Amino acid sequence: MSRGRGMDKSIKLFERASKHMVKGVNSPIRYFEPYPFFVKRARGCRVYDVDGNSYIDYCMGYGALLLGHAFKDVIDDVRAQLSKGSLYCMPTEHEVELTELLNRCIPCAETIRLVNTGMEATYHAIRIARAYTKRRKIIKFDGCYHGSHDYTLVKSYASVDEMLSSAMLEGVASNTIILPYNDIDAIKDAMQKIGDDVAAIIVEPVMANAGLIPPSNGFLETLSSVCREHGSLLIFDEVVTGFRLALGGAQEYYNIKPDIATFAKAMANGFAIACIAGRRDVMSMLAPEGRLYQGSTFAGNPVCVTAAIATIRYLMRHRSIYRLMEKRCNELVSMMSDMVRDNGIEARINSIASMLQIFFTSNEVRDYATAKLSNTTLFKSYFKELLKQGVFIPPSQFEVCFLSLAHDDTIIRSTGEKIGRVLSILARELSKRVEVTSRE
């Protein structure tokens, strides 16, 4: 077992970390009971903690590390750039090259603004839509997450009621209309009533923040057609799906062109860069061409831009990796499905391209409401037992497991075996609980 060396150093670091960081972490999802492991290094599909334990990583920077940790092409180019400086705050040829590449890969990317994070991208995409349409309301979907800003934090799994009442201005929440994902009638109905006041519909084309939930047939097409009908803009939040579903993201995969799209995560294989891409007339709202101010010190910095160019160039040269990763993902899902059945566990596994998630429920999971019906206590045990086996998946039911190019056939088989062991442990636990309940 790869987690045999104890956790002494992680425990000590967690104690130190908790003195000056909130709960010892810098993003809530990184904390889990009783303390997270502390990472020393990573390579390929593996992370190594400070105690010398190794884990097969299925978190992969929450989708950012499409090509794997420390991917050579990217790291070599970044290293070369570092010796030439890390920030100029004036335009570079690199930015020109990157935006030309983005324009070639992404169907809607006529004009691009580089930013630093997904949250920044979705926040400004909404401001652009409001400025362009001169309307206030936006529609988002229950359970979709677009970053931790108030415009979209309403009803994402990351929000809590107290936060809404104490920290969010009322006008923000009242201008955010929430609809169930994959409900075509609800969207048609809502747009019939308020469509002419709606600046934009923002959507994760594949929902990856309530577990994994692909769009049902006709859902994305309906969003596109009601937006056109009412003069609202369609924003695809491709922070997860961008460069992962296909080189051109979900808009290429589903052949639906939004008015604006946001990208981050896999764009630079683990470096902090994001972008807003969209129709020229819409994007021209932004200063200095238009009057909508948006600026950032680190936007377009040469280090992250270099990482993005290296990543995208690699993907352009090796388009076949998408099929390969999907095949491996399907193999893992198929092994998991067999083991779920053999162990008599009620579970559903949703997957698409190189992403998957298991839900401990017998229901189909097609929106946030159905995702919430799954047994999250059992998911916690699943996560903890997998960690003991040396497999690191995101600690929450409402996240997604990501493969990278480094998850080869051997790793997939080994993961399948480890998951098999964990499922039989869970099955034994469940049957003990049933026995105790029936004795009572």
| Contact (CB, 8 A) for 68 and 61 | no
Task: In angstroms, give the least distance from the CB of 368 to ligand PLP.
Answer: 14
Which CB, 204 or 367, lies closer to ligand PLP?
A: 204
Task: In angstroms, give the least distance from the CB of 148 to ligand PLP.
Answer: 7
Which residues have C-beta within 8 Å of that of residue 254, sequence separation ≥ 6?
205, 215, 220
Reference 10, options 40, 41, 38; nearest CA is 38
Which residues have C-beta within 8 Å of that of residue 319, sequence separation ≥ 6?
247
Amino acid 363 reads N
Q: How far is CA 140 from CA 99, 166, 176, 184, 187, in A?
A: 28, 21, 7, 13, 10
145 is catalytic: yes
Residues in the chain: 440
DSSP-derived secondary structure for 298-351: TTT-HHHHHHHHHHHHHHHHTTTHHHHHHHHHHHHHHHHHHHHHHTT---EEEE
Task: Note the residues at the interface with ligand PLP (CB under 6 A).
Answer: 62, 117-119, 122, 145-147, 204, 208-209, 237, 239-240, 264
Q: Which residue is nearest to ligand PLP (CB)?
A: 118
310 vs 113: CA distance, rounded Å: 19
Among residues 142, 237, 259, 367, the one annotated as catalytic is 237
Which CB, 53 or 122, lies closer to ligand PLP?
A: 122
Which CB, 122 or 224, lies closer to ligand PLP?
A: 122
Among residues 265, 322, 372, 418, the one annotated as catalytic is 265
Burial (0-12, 13-18, 19+ Cβ within 10 Å), 292? middle
Which CB, 99 or 152, lies closer to ligand PLP?
A: 152
Task: In angstroms, give the least distance from the CB of 264 to ligand PLP.
Answer: 5
Q: Considering all CA atoms of the chain, what is the largest pairwise distance in Å, rounded to the nearest integer?
A: 74
Task: In angstroms, give the least distance from the CB of 149 to ligand PLP.
Answer: 9
Tell me the two tokens of residue 80: 């070369």
Tell me the two tokens of residue 424: 């039989």
Which CB, 10 or 262, lies closer to ligand PLP?
A: 262
Among residues 145, 181, 253, 314, the one annotated as catalytic is 145
User: Which helix (H) or strand (E) element contains residue 203?
Assistant: strand 198-203
Which residues have C-beta within 8 Å of that of residue 193, sequence separation ≥ 6?
none
Which CB, 115 or 190, lies closer to ligand PLP?
A: 115
Neighbours of 362 (CB within 10 A): 11
Which residues have C-beta within 8 Å of that of residue 373, sequence separation ≥ 6?
361, 363
265 is catalytic: yes
Which CB, 1 or 160, lies closer to ligand PLP?
A: 160
Task: In angstroms, give the least distance from the CB of 360 to ligand PLP.
Answer: 22
Residues assigned a catalytic role: 145, 237, 265
